[in-house]
Amino acid sequence: NGYKVYGADGCQIGPETADAVLAIIETLDYFTGPKYMDFDEAKRAGKIIEIPDSCLEAFVDAVYAQRVGGGEGIEDLKLVYTP
């Protein structure tokens, strides 16, 4: 399907950076190029770092701070999430 890549600023990368990423991807042999690792092994090796709850809480607080009207009427909001 495709993918989205975000830069350090939190925005999607631009065409120049996307071209550089694609150039690297195109050098890989899809069957032998990518390296795979067990999740727990990758965590121990420092390849996977879980985001601490404090980071999530700070993000949610920042989102709430952007609410228009201070969140008035939020109790009537209906939301459905489908992955």
Tell me which residue range forms the domain holding 32: 15-72
Q: Is 25 domain-assigned?
A: yes
- Number of domains making up the chain: 1
* Separation CA 6–CA 18 (nearest Å): 10
Is residue 17 helix, strand or coil?
Answer: helix
pLDDT tens digits for range 10-61: 889 999 999 999 999 888 887 877 778 999 999 999 999 999 999 989 988 8
When pLDDT is averaged across residues 71-76 and rounded to a whole number, the result is 75
Reduced 3-state DSSP string for 18-70: HHHHHHHHCCCCCCCCCCCCCHHHHHHCCCCCCCCHHHHHHHHHHHHHCCHHH
pTM over 0.85: no
Residue 27 lies in a domain: yes
**φ, ψ of residue 12 in degrees (nearest 5):** -60, 145
